[in-house]
Amino acid sequence: MTVQPPYRPRLGRVLLTLVPLAFLCVFFVWPVGAILGRGLTSHGSLDLSPLGDILGDTGLRHVAVFTVWQAALSTVATLCIALPATAVLSRYQFRGRGLIVAFLTVPFVLPTVVVATAFRSLGIDGTLLAIVLAHTFFNAAIIVRVVGVSWRALDRREEEAARLLGAGPLRTFTSVTLPALRPAIVAASSVVFLFCFTSFGVILILGGPRFATLETEIYRQTAQLLDLRTAAALSIVQLVAVVAALSVAGVMGGRLGRVTRRPPAPSAVPNLPARILAGAALAPVVLLVAIPLLELVGRSLAHGAYGYAHLTETPLGAPSSSLHALGTSLQIACVATVIAVGLGVCLASAVTRRGRPSRVARATELVVVLPLGVSAVTVGFGFLIVFDTPPLDLRTSWWIIPIAHALVALPFVVRATVPALRAIDPRQREAAALLGARPIQVWREIDMRVLARAAAVAAGFAFAISLGEFGATLFIVRPETTTVPVAIFRFLSRPGATNVDQAMALATILMVVTALVALIGERTHRMGVRA
């Protein structure tokens, strides 16, 4: 039997890791570093005075406090609405359960512009209530997914023992169930807080001039006031908070992984009172998702489908029609998906080759997730600054947008594929190697079979994320490469009922497309679980 040189697998892992990391260094670290460098240097030396200016500026201090406060309030609201529904969906099996789970997942992949437009159609824009409800609508799926996995894995015999000892339902929940779920709840809450903390489209459209967060203030300081020093200081404050939230989520996620066991099968709802309670638990989150979407569709048809009929027309001052923007978005999403899935699969394969995750692997995963927490406005403006000279003169290139979208989608691809690869029994690889299989054959026959379905699910997420990306695109888009979210925002920014009708029609079309992608991804995931 031919013995393979020991350096080849290591070399393969190194190459699989270096290619995605090189992509992150060029298209994330470099642009963000350039923005921070320009903002925090004065005459070639480091100048941290803008950080002190934030603390001394009452307006900026209020923005920072409001950012944390609205994110915390949105997180609590999401937990209050989503946890009861999670309990029902995790413990009981009933007709329509799969459809409800898929329905609640759709908002998470909807573009933030569509979410904001849906709530704006309810007439509550410009209020804190609109912001909190939109964030809850958007992030309830995270609680249902993350906490639901742990809830299904709990050993119900512990709860039954507590009840036999005289504990009531509330005492059993607080003493037995809640402590076991605490790591999952904290991990999910950290992610929800992160998304609310860095929210851009929701705040920009629903907040109005009264409400501003660090993300929208970075946009204002950069795009309107051209104050890079203040924008850089705000980006640093935001980045510190993001790293803290990601660290908490990572630590709790690690604890979650060590206690999860094979979940028991869900049981039927036992009796009529339990069915009434289950319906009461599901009703708030289902209504929260359904009402804005139905209102959005209704508003798009309010004037006899006038908005749809005029999507083929070219608005005054625009280079192309709204349908052209839809075609552009679909093309960009396809290219961004190929880039993100290719790089994500390489990185996931590299960090999971050793079975148990090492410190290097966990650090690599944390680095990959960082683009989610850094201001998309900072990334977009950084693209304009650094990619303005050959050989990377991309400011006028069509490719700059799918590259930016791939950067945002890459963390989701890695998060979708790493668990699937870590679930592979390493003894399968060892047995194949003992039988003489080369490393590439082991990867093709074992890893690739598992990875194919996970990559399909990740591709669906990446495609939907690219369709809805708004923050960075708003900075780097050109008239001929206008995407649907940017077109919706521009329609809403113009006066007149015609512009509102077209915005509602475009938002409805984008909602339907992303919903179909989400449902296909959910079906693929369920088929993979059954297999």
Mean pLDDT lowest for which of 246-255, 433-442, 493-502?
246-255
Report the 10 Å Cβ neighbour count for 262.
6
What CA–CA distance (Å, rounded) separates 209 from 332? 32
Report the 10 Å Cβ neighbour count for 245.
21
The fraction of the chain above a pLDDT of 90, given in percent, is 7
The number of C-alpha atoms within 13 Å of 84 and in the hemisphere containing its C-beta is 15
Tokens read off for 462: 């990446």
pLDDT, tens only, 237-274: 777 777 777 676 666 555 554 444 444 555 666 667 77
Q: What pLDDT does 18 receive?
A: 82
Average pLDDT, the chain: 76
Q: What pLDDT does 386 receive?
A: 86
Query: For residue 70, is pLDDT > 90?
Result: yes
Close Cβ partners of 227 (under 8 Å, ≥ 6 residues apart): 221
Query: For residue 74, is pLDDT > 90?
Result: yes
Higher pLDDT, 196 or 419: 196
pLDDT bracket for residue 326 (50, 70, 90): confident
The number of C-alpha atoms within 13 Å of 369 and in the hemisphere containing its C-beta is 20
What CA–CA distance (Å, rounded) separates 407 from 339? 9
State the sign of the Cα–Cα–Cα–Cα dihedral 246, 252, 255, 259: negative
Which SS3 state, helix, strand or coil, does residue 290 take?
A: helix
What CA–CA distance (Å, rounded) separates 178 from 162? 13
Tokens read off for 384: 């304009």
pLDDT bracket for residue 80 (50, 70, 90): very high
Question: Could you tell me if 204 and 224 are in contact, meaning their C-beta atoms sit under 8 angstroms apart?
Answer: no
What CA–CA distance (Å, rounded) separates 422 from 349? 9
Architecture, CATH, for domain 10-32+57-300+311-530: Orthogonal Bundle (1.10)
pLDDT bracket for residue 332 (50, 70, 90): very high
Query: For residue 337, is pLDDT > 90?
Result: yes
pTM of the model: 0.75
pLDDT bracket for residue 300 (50, 70, 90): confident
Q: What pLDDT does 219 receive?
A: 80
Question: Token pair 């201090």 is at which residue?
Answer: 61
pLDDT, tens only, 157-214: 666 676 676 666 666 776 677 777 777 788 788 878 888 888 888 888 888 778 888 8
Q: What pLDDT does 334 receive?
A: 92
What CA–CA distance (Å, rounded) separates 356 from 368? 19
Mean pLDDT over residues 270-289, rounded? 82
Q: What are phi and psi of 355, to 5 degrees?
A: 85, -95
pLDDT bracket for residue 76 (50, 70, 90): very high
Assess whether the previous peptide bond of 107 is cis (omega < 30° from 0). no
What CA–CA distance (Å, rounded) separates 476 from 469? 12
Q: What pLDDT does 6 receive?
A: 43
Tokens read off for 383: 């693209």
pLDDT bracket for residue 4 (50, 70, 90): very low
Q: What pLDDT does 3 receive?
A: 44
